[in-house]
Each structure stands twice: as structure tokens, then as C-alpha cells.
Amino acid sequence: MSAAPLTAGELAVLPVFPLPRVVFFPGSRLPLHLFEPRYRALIADCLANGPHAMAIALLAPGWETHYAGRPPIHEVAGAGRIVAHERLADGTYNVLLDGVARVRLEELAAGELPYRRAHATALEAPESEQPVSRADLTALVSAASAIAAEVRRAHGAFSLGIEPGDPPGQLADTIADRLVADTAHRQAILEAVDVPARVRLVTATLAEILAVVGANGRTPGRSDLAH
């Protein structure tokens, strides 16, 4: 069962966990290990006082020189609800997030807290207002199925994780999460709020992967795929 959507109150002051190579899609699950003091404080506050949620924001280019402070982040992020957590003996945490929304972040001013927070605006539009053509859906599923078949040659249990009747936007997000590894491509897909455009973007990205696989005559590896 999917986690509950974020409330207006939760979106108003949402903790932000910036990461260098992670793009978090709605409908996916993300395991995290929080060990830096500021992020241990973040999760402790979330668990004690709420919200039981956070945004995972991709660090923008140039973050390396500012990592200890407030490095630049992409303003479109994935927001997730905390569905499981464990505090380890050394004070670090294992956390599992359930992705519930793509959001636009407006960072709040730094205060006494050691971690960052933002006012978040949910970007999802009703899919009923964004019809996707049958041809575009067929192209998406066909490309994903072709790559999945190649992956199963080496990893027989691999699954796309899609179900008949999945809404097109969720279908595109799930396939992107499973099959697209490149961080820049993943962020572009996350930023594609328009569902028909997102479906076409994921399909085009998969076509690039298939072209590489075909040219090299090999099974897709970690450099090609997300999982």
C-alpha cells in the first residue's frame, strides 16, 4: 500500500536531504543510511516532532566545494514519507522512504537547525487532464520490455515492477526508476511534470540505451541501468 500523500502542513516546512547522485521518483522506495550529524538530527526531529517525511534533492554541479555548508541543489525534488526506520547502536539511522510526490522547493532561511528545510509545492497534475496516446504508451512499454528481456539474461528475477492499469505518469516513473541510471537523465524525467512529455522523454531515453546495447552486442550493465 502506498504511503499517504503529504499534507499542506508537511509541505509547508519539509526537511531536505541533499544527495549527489540520487534522484527519487514518486512510487519508488529508497533505503537510506544517515550518518552525518546534521542528517541524524534531521531524522531524529522528523521522528520526534514530524513531519515523518523529507525531500531528496539532487545536488547541483559545483556542490563539492560547498558540501559542508549549503551546496546548490536542484529545485525539483522527490518527496517521500518515512515508512520504516532503525536507530543503530552507533547513533546512525537506517531509513526507508516511500516516494509520494515530485515537488518544487523554495528553501527556507537557515535557522538554528543544522539541516535544510523548504516550502514544497507538489507538482503532480491530475492524469485525467493529461491524456497520453495509445501509440506513446505502446512505445514506452515496448522499449522497457526489450531492455528488461536483455537484463533477465544475466538477472533472471529482474522485474519492471509495473502493473496493468498503472496510470501513464506512474508507469513512466516506475520504468525510469528501474531502467535509467544516468543522473542527469533521471533528473530531467523528474522535472517533466507534463505526463505526455514525460512518457515520451522516458521512451527516448530507453531508445538511447537500446542503441548502446545493440551497438555493443552486450547485456545492459550498471552503467546503463538503474538496478
pLDDT in tens, 112-171: 999 999 999 999 776 667 789 999 999 999 999 999 999 999 888 999 999 988 999 999
Percent of the chain topping pLDDT 70: 90
Amino acid at 55: A
What's the pTM value of the predicted model, to 2 decimals? 0.91
Residue-wise burial string across 37-67, b where 16 or more C-beta atoms lie within 10 A, e elsewhere: eebbebbebbeeeebbbbbbbbbeeebeeee
State yes or no: pLDDT of 223 exceeds 60.
no
Whole-number average pLDDT of the chain = 91
State yes or no: pLDDT of 67 exceeds 90.
no
State yes or no: pLDDT of 82 exceeds 50.
yes
pLDDT on residue 214 = 67
State yes or no: pLDDT of 227 exceeds 50.
no
Give the lowest-confidence range in 54-63, 120-129, 131-140, 198-207: 120-129
Distance CA 223, CA 143 (A): 18
State yes or no: pLDDT of 33 exceeds 90.
yes
State yes or no: pLDDT of 226 exceeds 50.
no
State yes or no: pLDDT of 62 exceeds 90.
no
Distance CA 166, CA 163 (A): 6
Residue 14, φ and ψ in degrees, nearest 5: -105, 125
pLDDT band per the 50, 70, 90 thresholds, residue 111:
confident
Distance CA 5, CA 79 (A): 10
CB 165 within 8 A of CB 16: no
Instruction: Write the CB contacts of 193 (distance below 8 Å, at least 6 apart in sequence).
Output: 102, 123, 124, 125
Angle of helix 134-154 relative to helix 168-179, nearest 10 degrees?
Answer: 30
pLDDT on residue 220 = 55
Instruction: Write the CB contacts of 113 (distance below 8 Å, at least 6 apart in sequence).
Output: 41, 45
Which residue(s) pair with 103 in the sheet? 77, 122
11-23 residue pLDDT tens: 999 999 999 999 9
